[in-house]
Chains A and B, each alone.
Chain A
Amino acid sequence: MGKILMKGNEAIGEAAIRAGCLNYFAYPITPQSEVAEYLSRRMPEVGGVFLQGESEVAVGYMLFGAAGSGERAFTTSSSPGVSLMSEAISYISSAELPVVFVNIVRGGPGLGGILPSQADYFQATKGGGHGDYRLLVMAPASVQEAVDMVMMAFSLAEKYRNPVMILGDGLIGQMMEPVEFSDHLKSEPSNKDAWATNGMDTRKSKERNLVKSLFLDAQLLEEHNLALKAKYDRMKQEEVRYEPYNIDSDYRALIVSYGTMSRVCKTAIDNMKTEGIEVAMIRPQTLFPFPINPIRKAASKKGCVAVISFELSMGQMVEDVERSVQGKCPVYWHGKAGGEIPTPEEVIDKVRSFT
């Protein structure tokens, strides 16, 4: 199949269908309501489920129930909506249900604004809900990458029996770009008979299944948390994804940036190169697990005098960058949180001032 021009939000909805997920529950919120509008039309065409819930709180638990019964399910929302879903995300993580969440991030805190933002980095990677849980978080920098990540998300969610979050920003959702839906990213749903409440009669074992998160016994809760931790540790080993840029040059500075912001940084790096200034970039594609070792290695390179985290927030990812660099190089931050995106010139000015 060839490339077609699609708006990010619609492409995300289509990608889920192509990935074999036919169950979508959502609540409208700007700047991603087009996903619900698109799927309200598309899901009936493919025999899928579309349901507009009464709130993001309820939607979170509709996903819990659907995934708990063994079916692929996903939602899309934006920042304030994801805050409301965070309760369910904690329960879904504990019950180990494979659910895919897409957050097309807008500015905050509170109602904030409706322009692009990356201010939900902490919420996505450190847990917006309660308890020790982690989401596998992927951050696309283009509509095509959003499509690919959504398609991969379902098999990853099933591989780990863990929720996966696609952290986009308003620009990824609203922008139109050519996309292709790759059949090789499509995956068959895994067999869930060991744990899902998918009908005892249909299972070979004829044993009943429980989907739950309550462990009143201290030792059992400890074991549960250790099992979850082992899963998160395995993600750190197997799922780190990042894109290096201009990393083979003799760079004076290393940029760490993701999503829409990283595209501006690429332009800035290209422009500086024509002036003879070499700057490299590591673009995390997974925010959890975070590319700690690649960043430390890149920051340790001789001649690199600054590591700069460019973000559409007041400095959230920079804490993970500092943790990665471990003092091997000075770490700086620059960002905006109102909804404007720094220009390549602004990035170049900042690189100059830090080097």
Chain B
Amino acid sequence: MAKTYKKPEALSDQHTHYCPGCTHGVIHRLVAEVIDELGIRGRTVGIAPVGCAVLAYNYFTFDFQEAAHGRAPAVATGIKRVRPDLIVFTYQGDGDLASIGMGEIIHAANRGEKFTTIFVNNTVYGMTGGQMAPTTLPGQRTTTSPAGRDVEDVGMPFKIAELISGLQTPAYISRQTVLKPKYIVRGKKAIKKAFQYQMEGRCFSLVEFVSTCPTNWGMTPVESIQWAEENMLPYYQLGEFKTPE
């Protein structure tokens, strides 16, 4: 009997360390499917962040570099500048990209570095135990905002896709999610576009994913999906914010 569904070649056989209900696994798979479909596994280099996805390279089957916290866009810049023929992407969370690495991502995007960023926004620092992130929603409780994020004290959460869309240079900026099957299909399309634009040499591309963290949110996987839909999607609206001219 013929196989109708199989694991992408770009994904390894390892079980992930991600918590039940975490959206990293789905997003990893989408990236792997796109890399398979584009036939670029043999010339792709991924950059792992610091955070839950620091070990992402264990789950993919192509070249990887592991960056310091927030520095993945600088690492990707270095690779892409000296080896423009390689396909390079960073895979970063919100603490990594929007806090400690804000300088690196903004400048790489503004220079129009020809790599792709997959940005997984689940509103908390997952790996270190659910501390407040730059994307934590107003009033959201975390281990360092036990009374809820006080926007009078620490400001409003960053909308990264909108922020980077404000720059003139970047080519493709999109916000997607994987909370429901229909979103997953759209999310994959966005990832594919981002990689294709890179292959065409059309500047920087970023796909943000509205994601969950059931463990640090103190919810079941199903509750966390519901919470993200009700609370995150109104603030982090889905869509394409910038497409190449």
Is B137 among interface residues, defined by CB-CB distance under 8 A? no
For A88, the chain B residues whose CB sits under 8 A away are: 68, 71
- Whether B103 lies near A65 (C-beta < 8 A) is no
Task: List 9 A-B pairs, Cβ < 8 Å.
Answer: A58-B104, A59-B74, A62-B81, A73-B82, A198-B83, A199-B43, A202-B43, A210-B63, A211-B64
- Whether B42 lies near A210 (C-beta < 8 A) is no
For A25, the chain B residues whose CB sits under 8 A away are: 78, 81
Give the nearest-CB partner of B62 in chain A: A208
- Whether A199 lies near B85 (C-beta < 8 A) is yes
Closest beta carbon of chain B to A129's beta carbon, Å: 10
Q: How far is the CA of A53 from the CA of B106 in the complex (A)?
A: 12
Give the nearest-CB partner of B83 in chain A: A69
Q: How far is the CA of A48 from the CA of B95 in the complex (A)?
A: 34
Q: Which of B41, B45, B66 contacts A69 (CB 8 A)?
A: B45
With A53-B107, A210-B57 already in contact, 17 other A-B pairs whose C-beta atoms are closer than 8 Å: A25-B81, A53-B74, A61-B68, A61-B77, A62-B77, A65-B78, A65-B82, A67-B78, A69-B79, A69-B82, A88-B68, A197-B79, A198-B86, A199-B43, A199-B63, A199-B83, A200-B63
Is B65 among interface residues, defined by CB-CB distance under 8 A? yes
Is A343 among interface residues, defined by CB-CB distance under 8 A? no
Known: A58-B71, A200-B43. A63 touches B66 (CB 8 A): no
Could you mark each residue 90-109 of chain B with 1 if its beta carbon is under 8 Å from any beta carbon of chain A, else 0? Answer: 00000000000001100100
Could you mark each residue 202-231 of chain A with 1 if its beta carbon is under 8 Å from any beta carbon of chain B, else 0? Answer: 100010111111100000000000000000
Q: Which residues in A have some Cβ–Cβ distance to B below 8 Å?
A: 23, 25, 49, 51, 53-55, 57-71, 73, 87-88, 91, 95, 197-202, 206, 208-214
- Whether B63 lies near A66 (C-beta < 8 A) is no
Give the nearest-CB partner of A91 in chain B: B68
For B169, the chain A residues whose CB sits under 8 A away are: none
Number of A-B pairs, beta carbon distance below 8 Å? 132
Q: Which of A51, A60, A214 contacts B81 (CB 8 A)?
A: A51
Is B61 among interface residues, defined by CB-CB distance under 8 A? yes
For A57, the chain B residues whose CB sits under 8 A away are: 71, 74, 103-104
Task: Bin the interface of chain B by size.
Answer: 20 to 34
For B79, the chain A residues whose CB sits under 8 A away are: 65-66, 68-69, 197
Best-buried of B47, B55, B77, B85 by chain A (most CB within 10 Å): B77
Could you mark each residue 28-67 of chain B with 1 if its beta carbon is under 8 Å from any beta carbon of chain A, else 0? Answer: 0000000000000111010110000011010001111111
For A61, the chain B residues whose CB sits under 8 A away are: 67-68, 71, 74-75, 77-78, 104
Give the nearest-CB partner of B84 in chain A: A49
Is B207 among interface residues, defined by CB-CB distance under 8 A? no
Q: Which residues in B have some Cβ–Cβ distance to A below 8 Å?
A: 41-43, 45, 47-48, 54-55, 57, 61-68, 71, 74-83, 85-86, 103-104, 107
Known: A54-B104, A57-B103, A209-B63. A64 touches B75 (CB 8 A): yes
Give the nearest-CB partner of A64 in chain B: B75
- Whether A65 lies near B77 (C-beta < 8 A) is yes
For A210, the chain B residues whose CB sits under 8 A away are: 57, 63-66
For A66, the chain B residues whose CB sits under 8 A away are: 78-79, 81-82
- Whether B74 lies near A68 (C-beta < 8 A) is no
- Whether B107 lies near A58 (C-beta < 8 A) is yes
Closest beta carbon of chain B to A106's beta carbon, Å: 24
Q: How far is the CA of A65 from the CA of B104 in the complex (A)?
A: 13
Closest beta carbon of chain A to B36's beta carbon, Å: 14
Known: A49-B82, A69-B79, A200-B42. A87 touches B68 (CB 8 A): yes
For B62, the chain A residues whose CB sits under 8 A away are: 200, 208
For B47, the chain A residues whose CB sits under 8 A away are: 65
For A209, the chain B residues whose CB sits under 8 A away are: 63
- Whether B74 lies near A211 (C-beta < 8 A) is no
Closest beta carbon of chain A to B163's beta carbon, Å: 16
Give the nearest-CB partner of B55 in chain A: A214
Known: A49-B82, A54-B107, A55-B103. A65 touches B65 (CB 8 A): yes
- Whether A63 lies near B78 (C-beta < 8 A) is yes
Closest beta carbon of chain B to A90's beta carbon, Å: 9
Q: How far is the CA of A197 from the CA of B45 in the complex (A)?
A: 7
Q: How far is the CA of A209 from the CA of B42 in the complex (A)?
A: 11
For A206, the chain B residues whose CB sits under 8 A away are: 42
